[in-house]
Structure 1
């Protein structure tokens, strides 16, 4: 009896999940159409206070609906990440973050008139999680080699079952079995590794230099920091000239609001946009401010020259 009740409950939950998804995606599609119409009116020069308010309200509603869809479908991410449950907790968090990016990509590309969202979202989530696994466990493999890695390992195992566990690997045979090139097999089975940054770069006694001492310091110089802050102050004065979304992207991208700078992906996650779309908004906003930055730099040079004189 308890098993029957549990089965009924699972079916009810599944129906509710699909119903909620369908309703939220329908609402999101309507908001996107509304935003498109409002932005077209703004681009046609019909902007006024009421139109700007309606545009901001629609953007806020779209962000809220996207967040609700994310929350509803987080189980898809956790279910796939569970396939890698043997790794440490610190990496599970990284994998879940990557899976959320894939989930957001799926949300942005999904049409509610198509297949169920859970099926649609699988590939984007899988792609981002596997990319994170590669970055964590196999940073020396390019994406193409990593994708073929399971087939290559299976072909190697099949070869050793015939040739014997202690037989030297025949890369040509493994390549034939896996349907890849021999060079790809070698890259996967013999990836280059830098064991430690403390490995000496020379074996000449006192002249030994560790690799870490040869790495370029990524931190900006004092001069770069001063000039960057100076230019950002110039941008900050002209931010009201930008559209609300452009102001937000620049503020978060460069930390103009005093908070830490964010990546394109992180900003896109906030706005319900892809990283590439955020990059386009950033490029457009910076183009508008290019003359301001140039003018600010020229004024700064003139003042410094005057003081030097």
Structure 2
């Protein structure tokens, strides 16, 4: 290290941090001269981020570049002035409430639609660049917390730029929040605007935790955080005792398996053995999850033949379906439609006829065979192949919805 210090013209007692900062500054000066006296802010960001400099080292780089007469070019929309520094110093940064609410009352959705129409999607390179800006701004924010009296204009600029980057990433991904929120409208009595607001909160967490160095798209990462925020809000909205999100997901999966097996079994209730095979859970887990589910929906009981079975329990107070049942039915229909879209037209029609998904009731194998001009056995083969494809699709969706493997 002493040899490096001598080459840089630094005193031998210079700290390693100062040497690292000087090396970064010299590399940027070389770029400046190689590019004919031009150096963009994005280039500076990449060097500071790649070398892992702390806030003090970053400030040294900027001060050294200024001493050497190197002017850094900012994009037009990122030019700053002293008035902006003063405004920022008097604020606590971007206001989450302002981003979520935007405007009071019913105009929230109108504002969101306007944002979606005006804010362009980000390219992978833009996501990385904004991620760098946020990461560097975080360094300077931490330094300001430890030294509140530090009012270095360069530090203020970096913090302000990071806040702008956060807001831009949030606004550019608002359409993703809207898209995910729509899928959960039938699962909850929450208003669509409430789901969107919860989704935006999840999006904000994703922006704060996104690591631009890992190489994947931000939308892939944000989808998980948005979904978690929305499903958590749904889980907490209609229950006094609040379940963890992964438990709610397991309850939902169990309910779907019960309804699915009832259709496959032509209305017969599924046994615990069938549920074990369908869900790949052990019997104790199935019993435990069923006990946590709403009592008016499912319960374990001893059948006449001594076999444990899972049964839908009728609502005792009324023969009419309640609001919760209607929501379940609507969600089932939407979910089933999306699944059937993965099949060929013939497979889709065969399943629709066999399980009475249309208005004509359930058809026998012979009836469907006559319609298509094939044998009963051929229809059974088509049905089995289609069901296997759907089971595979459901398994993929469940794994995607629960990346932690719960």
TM range (shorter): 0.3 to 0.5
Which protein has the larger Cα radius of gyration, Structure 1 or Structure 2? 2
Q: Normalising by structure 1, what TM-score?
A: 0.45
Structure of higher RCO (CA pairs closer than 8 Å, 6+ residues apart)? 1
The TM-score, its normalising length taken from structure 2, stands at 0.36
